[in-house]
Amino acid sequence: MAGSNVVVFSETLWPDGGGAELATYLFVKHLVSQGYGVTVVSGRQMPAFCDGTKVVSDGALRAGSKTELWAKILSREDRLKGFIRDSDVVYIPRLCYPLAPVARKLGKKVLVHLHDYTPVSYSAAVPSPYERTADYPHRVKAFSIWLEGRRGRKAQSLAVFGDVHTRMARFWLAEADHIICVSNRQAQIISETAPELSHLLTRIYNPLPVRPGPLNGARRGPLFLYVGGTSYHKGYHVFIKVANQLLDRGTGVRFLLTRDTGYANDRMLSQAMRTSGAAFEVLGRVPYGELLGTYSKVRGLIFPSVWEEPLSYAVAECMAAGTIPIASNVGGNGELVKGSSAERFLFEPFDSYSLSGNIEAILSMSDDELRGIGENLTGCIHRTLSAEETTGRFVRLFGN
């Protein structure tokens, strides 16, 4: 209830990180506005997180991997207990799971927020399509080993023993009062792959960030945005394949790439740019406010992810800007576009033929058509991610 003290344990804080850290910032900001006293304990050193919060930097939460993080928390548990004793509610929005049973023993309410699949996957990702079959857990493990292998042999060898991590995560999470999932699809997958946690799960969508100013600016010709970086599970290889196909057909399409510095050393992009360099504009990582403005300057967002994205902020943000997301039908993407004009632009993961067809369909649209679709998208996403479905449900969970 309002007036209660909340301690937030998060090893990373916005503006570092991605969607999970952004959602944490927006939720904590709303807790403060509702009269909660909030202390944030983090591994990051920063003078302030958001107005009205007390921020404490603690080395126990400063780690290069979840294995190191969990070991540090367990070894420094007594010191962290002090923050828990002074609180009424313990909120864990990232990976500080070992603190859940500590808080439970001290009689505190414990809320854990899941923005990925750490309880069932070493890499925190599960491959699409999810299927409720006996061999799916083996597919998840193989997917994690493959993903970690892209980081090197040492990372891959650790992933072989990833079952230990997932069992530990589920053991600690079982001590929570509530486990928040960010989409119905994520909750379904975790419930069926970790049934011992199913009775604790509840779905709360992430809130939209507030962007000032007009949302529907002038579209910049045949320009499309890609924000997934060079990550395989974000569908980078699918994007490059489709980009080459469209350029070979002489469509005149152009692509804007943001968010990742790995492009400079990527062979696939280098090869594409040697033949069609003018078609690619690489910005690297851009400030978040600038990224929000970029959505309204392109015809569409290309989002070819091949894992079960819990809830994509990129898809939600571009819809709020009145821009069409051309997204793979994975994870929570279908929930975000349901009932909107973007629903017909969903495609199955790895389906480069459908993705290229969707891009060409949007290239052929007039400004009036894009404007009408944009108005529909903005209205739909604000209804889906309404205050009731996001911050309203979140605060009630703290008060119950």
What per-residue confidence (pLDDT) applies to 195?
95
CA 188 to chain centre: 17
> Is 322 among the domain residues?
yes
Is the domain of 267 the same as that of 203?
no
Structure tokens at 89: 């509610």
Extract the tokens encoding 75: 């070894």
Same domain flag for 258 and 365:
yes
Give the total number of structural domains in the chain: 2
Residue 390 lies inside a defined structural domain of this protein: yes
Q: Where are the alpha helices (DSSP H) in 86-161?
A: 99-105, 136-149, 153-159
Extract the tokens encoding 323. 């821009």
Residue 194 sits in the same domain as residue 233: no
In a domain, 235, yes or no: yes
How far apart CA 374 and CA 163 sit, in angstroms, is 44
Is 123 domain-assigned?
yes
Q: Report the alpha-carbon distance of residue 63 to residue 75 in Å, rounded.
A: 13
90 occurs within a structural domain: yes
127 DSSP 8-state letter: B
Q: Residue 340 is encoded by which pair of tokens? A: 């909107």
Identify whether residues 21 and 145 lie together within a single domain.
Answer: yes
pLDDT, residue 1, reads 61
52 belongs to a structural domain: yes
Residues 49 and 117 in one domain: yes
Inside any domain, residue 212: no
Domain at 393, CATH number: 3.40.50.2000
Q: Are strands 37-42 and 5-10 parallel, antiparallel or unpaired?
A: parallel
What is the structure's pLDDT at 180? Answer: 98
Shared domain for 380 and 285, answered yes or no, is: yes
What confidence score (pLDDT) does residue 335 get?
98
Residue 292 lies inside a defined structural domain of this protein: yes
For β-strands 254-258 and 53-57, DSSP reports them as unpaired
- Considering the domain architecture, whether residues 312 and 202 belong to the same structural domain is answered as no
Q: Please check whether residues 157 and 297 belong to one and the same domain.
A: no
- Residues 263 and 233 placed together within one structural domain of the fold: yes
Domain assignment of residue 12, given as a range: 5-207+386-399
Same domain, 318 and 390: no
Contact 59, 40 (CB under 8 A): no
Are 179 and 116 in contact, with CB atoms under 8 Å apart?
no
The answer to whether residues 176 and 237 belong to one domain is: no
Each residue's pLDDT, cut to its tens digit, for the chain (400 residues) gives: 666 999 999 999 998 889 999 999 999 999 999 999 999 999 987 766 788 899 999 999 999 889 999 999 999 999 999 999 999 999 999 999 999 999 999 999 999 999 999 999 988 899 999 987 778 888 888 888 877 776 777 767 766 777 889 999 999 999 999 999 999 999 999 999 999 999 999 999 999 987 644 444 555 689 999 999 888 899 999 999 999 999 999 899 999 998 666 787 788 888 888 878 789 998 878 888 888 889 999 999 999 999 999 999 999 999 999 999 999 999 999 999 999 999 999 999 999 999 999 999 999 999 999 999 999 999 999 999 999 999 999 999 988 6
Query: Which among 11, 1, 202 has a CA at the least distance from the CA of 94?
Result: 11
Same domain, 200 and 229: no
